[in-house]
Amino acid sequence: MAAKKLNIKDKYRLLTRDLDWEFSYQDRNKAFPFEEFEGIKITDWSKWEDPFRLTMDAYWKYQAEKERKLYAIFDAFAQNNGQLNISDPRYVNALKIFLTGVSPLEYQAFQGFAHTGRQFGGVGARVACQMQSIDELRHVQTQVHAMSHYNKFFDGLQDWSHMHDRVWYLSVPKSFFNDARAAGPFEFMVAIGFSFEYVLTNLLFVPFMSGAAYNGDMATVTFGFSAQSDEARHMTLGLEVIKFLLEQHEDNVPIVQKWIDKWFWRGTRLLTIVSMMMDYMLPNKVMSWKEAWEVYFEEAGGALFKDLARYGIRMPKYADIIEKEKEHVSHQAWWTFYTHGHAAGFHTWIPTDEELDWLSEKYPETFDKYYRPRWELAKEMEAKGERFYTKALPQLCTTCQIPMLFTEMDNPTQISYRDSIYKGDRYHFCSDGCKDIFDDEPEKFVQSWLPVHQIFQGNCGGPGVEDILRDYYQMNVGVDNMDIKGSPDEERWKKWKGVA
């Protein structure tokens, strides 16, 4: 008699239940040593359910088909000189930020989910983490391959992994994932699986992929579409993790709420660089950061937290502050990079008159009052040959490692500054959110590797900024950094396009 063909549900049950084993002669707690130390209580792992019920044979078949289509488009993009179709050479600087700041995080996610999945006693959660780990590895590979074509024609893309490890502003995304990976397995899942993948991922990927489409970059658009079905599974896993933990035991609720508060704040601080890209770096703009925040968090996130309220979960702490900061963070971030353009691995510029008008339209309450006058002054100085560069190194927040560029929301002309004293040493913070995170885990954050501190201690190469850029960061000084105007990137672009 022919063997009965199993349906998806039966296959998934065999994979995630019948492959597990009972511990007869070893202590189960020794096999999963990290499962209990965070204080999370799991009463029944069998309650874990993956709505996708994805099995390994289906996974490989599905991903292989996507790979074939994706790399065919990459080949066509290269063969047809796709770099000539982008809107403006300024756009490539957004790719430089993505490749050095975001793609390495995909690799950290691959490592993090592989490690985390091993720590769970429930086999369903282990399988889900294994598949997401493989997804994240695929994502970094496809992103690097998509952008490798630009490395043949533009500067600043040649040493992205080295730059991620060493360049001062890239310590912000790196420290974010280092913090998550140094946490326990359940906090990692709340940090990355829920707070980042579910609550905030649309604010990262949708603007980047839409921006690529608006600016003629079909290679980047294609890897975004290829990853989108994976991201849908990741978002579902993040939501499943939260609901599973909250339904397992009532004692889990305050622990999960604390993690949501922490990682929402850390995630929004990390997305400052996305806000800057959306408002200033895209020649053809999709929407403002303010509009994106309203659509993808205030509306979508608001509905999510209303749903979680039945478990006792409230909106993240300081969400009201972020709602006010949406008017300011992109302008404050781009001004900081403009004034430190000589020390950045991408080009900076003053917005055109049309772009300034667009910003005035999108930020009617704040831009003309606080930020347009700065850019008008910067234009006057540059016209006189006095382009402004900050000579000093910025003070950094101990928690998020972003320069102290944010302002008080009730007085946007005043820099926001907080501090804490721990064992006789004073630590500095950009906000109440970052101070709260430090005060809860001071033993962890006193170990922060702050680039400015390390430079002053002589741990980053020679004594001057140029020595550090050249020897420690391995930048091509005067080529990878400085203004877009007159750069080799711009000159090559004009030559290709036949523009005088």
Q: Phi/psi at 99 (nearest 5 deg)?
A: -70, -40
> Residue 231 in contact with residue 272, Cβ under 8 Å?
no
- At position 178, the amino acid (one-letter code) is N
> Residue 314 in contact with residue 305, Cβ under 8 Å?
yes
Residues 415, 449: Cα–Cα separation, whole Å: 23
Structure tokens at 388: 């402004």
CA-closest candidate to residue 76, choices 151, 139, 149, 138: 149
Structure tokens at 360: 């005035």
Residues 477, 496: Cα–Cα separation, whole Å: 24
CA-closest candidate to residue 214, choices 151, 108, 285: 285
> Residue 157 in contact with residue 143, Cβ under 8 Å?
no
Task: Report CA dihedral (255, 263, 401, 425) to the nearest 10 degrees.
Answer: -10
pLDDT tens per residue, the chain (500 residues)? 556 777 777 777 776 666 677 888 888 888 899 988 899 999 998 888 776 677 788 888 989 999 999 999 999 999 999 999 999 999 999 999 999 999 999 999 999 999 998 999 888 888 889 889 999 999 999 999 999 999 999 999 989 999 999 999 999 999 999 999 999 999 999 999 998 888 888 888 888 888 999 999 999 999 888 888 888 888 888 888 999 999 999 999 999 999 999 999 999 999 999 999 999 999 999 999 999 999 989 988 888 899 999 999 999 999 999 999 999 999 999 999 999 999 999 999 999 999 999 999 999 999 999 999 999 999 999 999 999 999 888 999 999 999 999 999 999 999 999 999 999 999 999 999 999 999 999 999 999 999 999 999 999 987 888 899 999 999 988 887 778 888 889 888 888 888 76
> Residue 399 in contact with residue 429, Cβ under 8 Å?
yes
Structure tokens at 489: 């990137």
Instruction: Report the chain's C-alpha Rg in angstroms.
Output: 24
Structure tokens at 222: 């294609």
- At position 140, the amino acid (one-letter code) is V
Contacts of range 117-121, beta carbons closer than 8 Å, 24 or more positions apart: 119/32, 119/33, 119/34, 119/35, 119/184, 119/185, 120/32, 120/35, 120/45, 120/185, 121/28, 121/31, 121/32, 121/35, 121/42, 121/45
pLDDT attached to residue 204:
82
pLDDT attached to residue 17:
64
Point out which residues pair with 381 in neighbouring strands.
Answer: none
Please state, as a whole number, how many other Cβ atoms lie within 10 Å of the Cβ of residue 480.
25
Residues 363, 313: Cα–Cα separation, whole Å: 32
Residues 439, 426: Cα–Cα separation, whole Å: 12
> Residue 317 in contact with residue 265, Cβ under 8 Å?
yes
In sequence order, which residues have a C-beta less than 8 Å from that of residue 15 and are 6 or more positions away?
55, 56, 127
Q: What helix, strand, coil percent values describe the chain, rounded to 5?
A: 65, 5, 30
Q: What H or E segment, with its residue span, contains residue 155?
A: none
Residues 128, 241: Cα–Cα separation, whole Å: 10
Place of tokens 């999510």: 304
- At position 144, the amino acid (one-letter code) is V
pLDDT attached to residue 1:
52
Structure tokens at 24: 């007869």
What is the DSSP secondary-structure string of 474-493?
---TTTTSSBSTT-HHHHHH
Q: What H or E segment, with its residue span, contains residue 425?
A: strand 425-429
> Residue 264 in contact with residue 323, Cβ under 8 Å?
no
* C-alpha distances out from residue 190 to 49, 266, 476, Å: 17, 12, 39
pLDDT attached to residue 2:
57
Q: Phi/psi at 415 (nearest 5 deg)?
A: -65, 135
pLDDT attached to residue 479:
82
